[in-house]
């Protein structure tokens, strides 16, 4: 124990010291035998008197990625409240769960089956009409084009992005090769076989046909600006290194006819309508319920977004 003062008379006992007016005899060591009770992560959450355990909320939080643990817990609590609302309504209607096989080959739980049957019974989704589909098509024509196809070759001068010295050296090598190719474009395949670090080097750098997502974003943006037969005059940098690109051929996307995409549009519209209708149904249940510990109908609640 730290000595707080030492100006006692020589020969005084501890009891004599503790009896002095300015002593610290009232101090008591904290009792560490019983640990303090942890504060709940959330206030008590319940639906019509049925409490949702904190342990259930913590377990559910792993299914709700968020920027911080607090947001994940709130999302988990709201999801469990909605689930409890639906289950209570299914019990109220005396719905018998009939399990079905899911897309991944598993069988539903009784609770999942009850919720599915409840929504099928209580939520009516109208089919999208041909007129509605055509209106969506005309207002979103850019969504219904086939993707452009590029046939391209490249020379890759590879460099680790974490090694700045290697990156600088690779950039210099790529710029030197690009400058040579400006005057000797016919040497592209030969230089690719000699200098490229890509497996396509054995094919003279030929990458075949490329569509969206086939290459890194920097490569794609460059292709979109190039003309057939063109070789980049400056290397294109990516995380892999530096690319000298030659566009062999471009096949531009075409507008897809309405008949070809009508079923797809109908599926989108009906899925959107289904989501809104289910949210409205849950909002009605929540408005009639007594929910504590969390707000699912407020401006920040999931049913109002």
Q: What is the CATH number of the domain that holds 166?
A: 3.10.50.40
How many CB atoms are closer than 10 A to CB 83?
18
Q: Which helix H or strand E contains 50, and what residues bound it? A: strand 50-52
| pLDDT tens per residue across span 269-283 | 999 999 999 999 999
The pLDDT value given to residue 37: 56
The pLDDT value given to residue 69: 87
Contact 108, 102 (CB under 8 A): yes
Answer whether residue 286 is part of any domain: yes
Contact 41, 73 (CB under 8 A): yes
Our measurement of the distance from residue 132's CA atom to the centroid of its chain's CA atoms, rounded to an integer in Å, reads 31
- Please check whether residues 153 and 247 belong to one and the same domain: yes
The pLDDT value given to residue 10: 47
- Please check whether residues 235 and 288 belong to one and the same domain: no
Answer whether residue 156 is part of any domain: yes
- Please check whether residues 247 and 276 belong to one and the same domain: no
| pLDDT tens per residue across span 200-232 | 999 999 999 999 889 999 999 999 999 999 999
- 208 or 38: which carries more pLDDT confidence? 208
The pLDDT value given to residue 282: 94
Answer whether residue 170 is part of any domain: yes
Q: Average of pLDDT values for 5-31?
A: 52
Q: Average of pLDDT values for 143-152?
A: 92
Q: Is the pLDDT of residue 177 over 80?
A: yes
**Tokens 């005057």 identify what position?**
183
| pLDDT tens per residue across span 104-120 | 778 889 999 999 999 99
| pLDDT tens per residue across span 80-138 | 999 999 999 999 999 988 888 877 778 889 999 999 999 999 998 889 999 999 999 99
Q: Is the pLDDT of residue 42 over 80?
A: no
Q: Is the pLDDT of residue 13 over 60?
A: no
Q: Where are the alpha helices (DSSP H) in 64-141?
A: 69-92, 110-122, 130-139
Task: Classify 138 as helix, strand or coil.
Answer: helix
Answer whether residue 137 is part of any domain: no
The pLDDT value given to residue 281: 94
Report percent pLDDT > 70 for the chain: 84
Single pTM value for the model: 0.54
How many structural domains does the chain have?
2
- Please check whether residues 89 and 116 belong to one and the same domain: yes
Q: Give the domain range for residue 82.
A: 45-126+266-304
- Please check whether residues 159 and 199 belong to one and the same domain: yes
Report percent pLDDT > 90 for the chain: 70
Answer whether residue 140 is part of any domain: no
- Please check whether residues 164 and 202 belong to one and the same domain: yes
At a CB cut-off of 8 Å and minimum separation 6, what does 303 contact?
279, 282, 283, 286, 296, 297
- Provide the token pair at 71: 């947001």
- Please check whether residues 219 and 192 belong to one and the same domain: yes
- Confidence band (pLDDT; 50, 70, 90) for 26? low
How many CB atoms are closer than 10 A to CB 70?
12
| pLDDT tens per residue across span 44-61 | 899 999 999 999 999 999
């Amino acid at each position: 124990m730290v000595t707080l003062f030492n100006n006692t008379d020589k020969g005084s006992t501890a009891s004599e010291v503790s009896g002095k007016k300015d002593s610290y005899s009232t101090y008591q060591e904290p009792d560490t035998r019983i640990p303090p009770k942890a504060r709940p992560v959330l206030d008590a959450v319940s639906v019509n008197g049925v409490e949702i355990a904190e342990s259930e909320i913590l377990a559910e939080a792993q299914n709700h990625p968020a920027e911080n643990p607090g947001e994940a817990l709130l999302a988990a609590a709201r999801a469990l409240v909605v689930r409890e609302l639906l289950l209570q309504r299914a019990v109220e209607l005396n719905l018998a769960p009939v399990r079905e096989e899911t897309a991944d080959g598993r069988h539903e739980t009784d609770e999942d089956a009850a919720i599915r049957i409840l929504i099928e019974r209580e939520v009516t989704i109208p089919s999208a009409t041909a007129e509605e589909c055509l209106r969506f098509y005309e207002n979103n024509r850019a969504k219904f084009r086939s993707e452009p196809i590029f046939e391209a070759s490249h020379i890759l001068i590879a460099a680790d992005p974490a090694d700045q010295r290697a990156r600088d050296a690779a950039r210099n090598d790529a710029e030197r090769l690009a400058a040579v190719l400006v005057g000797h474009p016919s040497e592209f395949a030969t230089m690719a076989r000699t200098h490229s670090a890509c497996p396509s080097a054995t094919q003279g750098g030929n990458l075949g046909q490329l569509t969206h997502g086939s290459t890194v974003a920097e490569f794609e943006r460059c292709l979109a600006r190039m003309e057939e037969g063109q070789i980049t005059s400056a290397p294109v940098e990516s995380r892999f290194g530096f690319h000298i690109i030659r566009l062999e051929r471009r096949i531009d996307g075409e507008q897809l006819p309405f008949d070809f995409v009508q079923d797809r549009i109908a599926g989108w519209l009906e899925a959107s309508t289904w989501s809104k209708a289910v949210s409205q149904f849950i909002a009605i249940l929540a408005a009639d319920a007594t929910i504590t510990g969390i707000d699912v109908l407020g401006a920040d609640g999931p049913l109002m977004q």
